Amino acid sequence: MLKRLLLPALLATTTAALAEVPKVATDIAPVQGLVAAVMGDLGQPALVVPRGASPHDHALRPSEAGHLQGADLVVWIGPDLMPNLVKPLETLAGGALIMTLADLPGSHLLPSRTEAVFGEVEDHGHDDEHGDEHEAEDHGAEHDHGDAAHDPHLWLDPDNALLWLDAIATQLSKLDPDNADTYAANAAAAKAAVTAAVGQAQARLSPVHETPYLSLHDAYQYFEEVFDLHPLGAISLSDATTPGPARLASLRAALMQRGVTCVLAEPGGPEGFLQALGDTASLQVSEVDPLGAALPDGAGFYPALITDTADRIADCLTPAS
């Protein structure tokens, strides 16, 4: 059984002080950035899912498994994002404390969206339903977020990040009480930086927040809620699934009605799906990476992720002069 940390238990935990700064392993770059901000100069958290890899179906390499084996603390989003990490946590990180961020009280969770055009009630007819099931089986989509209890991209809600920074500082302080003041001060500075980044993002997105757009992969629901964005829909539920004919037909019709000109894609994403939507010559494709693979490591990673995401979406939604 995983030793999941919930905040009340986390606050009540009494752990003997370690002789060294705790070794921390993290699942994805945004989580690594938050932990790095709290640790500061005291240490560097390890990254289990390398940049550019999809956490939805990543298979661990020996070096990544070693990060889990040597960790005192593992911080991850949870199984909805990375189901393949559940067993390695049980078998490789048995001596580590496991902080599952999605389980922390106060973490904001949204249900996974399944409809092609957001807000529309889907017609789950017999043919479409079974066609989609076969497509899911063919593409190994048993782990896509259509089957998850919640949308797993919850790091894109800055309020979650603010909550997690305090929780990470609290747990590190339990493991390393000699540096508790440093962890608390670093968390406070990181929260100020995140708050400033949110203000910058709001300023960029406010003029275009009502403009509809399409995304290739439904990864931005939390970001959209925070910044009051109005997406039309998503071509695929996740980067592990292929859209069916009924889904593409719904999007084609909606694109014609709404006059959408912006599509959010991810680096290396399957832009070929756009061709199935018909005449896409008028669509502007903007690369937005919810994992921030191109951003520098360190304490500034998460604020940079928020502002970079906002800038790229705003540029895509701003009419050409």
Q: What is the mean pLDDT of residues 303-312?
A: 98
Using the predicted structure, report yes or no on whether residue 140 has a pLDDT greater than 80. no
How far are the Cα atoms of 148, 233, 250, 279 from residue 151, in angstroms, in the given order? 7, 15, 22, 31
CATH 3.40.50.1980 at 7-108+152-198, yes or no: yes
Q: How high is the pLDDT of residue 118?
A: 93
Per cent of the chain over pLDDT 70 is 81
Question: 45-54, 60-69, 124-133, 304-313 — which one is most confidently predicted on average?
Answer: 304-313
Q: What is the mean pLDDT of residues 132-154?
A: 54
Contact 153, 85 (CB under 8 A): no
Q: How high is the pLDDT of residue 82?
A: 93
Q: Which overall architecture, per CATH, does domain 126-150+209-316 show?
A: 3-Layer(aba) Sandwich (3.40)
Using the predicted structure, report yes or no on whether residue 273 has a pLDDT greater than 80. no
Q: How high is the pLDDT of residue 239?
A: 60
* Contacting residues for 35 by C-beta, under 8 A, at least 6 apart: 24, 26, 45, 75, 168
Q: Bigger pLDDT: 11 or 71?
A: 71
Q: How high is the pLDDT of residue 131?
A: 39
Confidence category of residue 280, pLDDT binned at 50, 70, 90:
low
Using the predicted structure, report yes or no on whether residue 14 has a pLDDT greater than 60. no
Residue 81's closest CA among 112, 43, 122? 112
| Angle, helix 180-205 to helix 301-317, in steps of 10 degrees | 10
Residue 220's closest CA among 281, 308, 294? 308
Model confidence over 234-269: pLDDT tens digits? 988 766 567 888 888 889 888 888 888 899 988 876
Q: How high is the pLDDT of residue 237?
A: 77
In the chain, CATH 3.40.50.1980 sits at 7-108+152-198, 126-150+209-316
Using the predicted structure, report yes or no on whether residue 71 has a pLDDT greater than 70. yes
Confidence category of residue 281, pLDDT binned at 50, 70, 90:
confident
What length does the chain have? Answer: 321
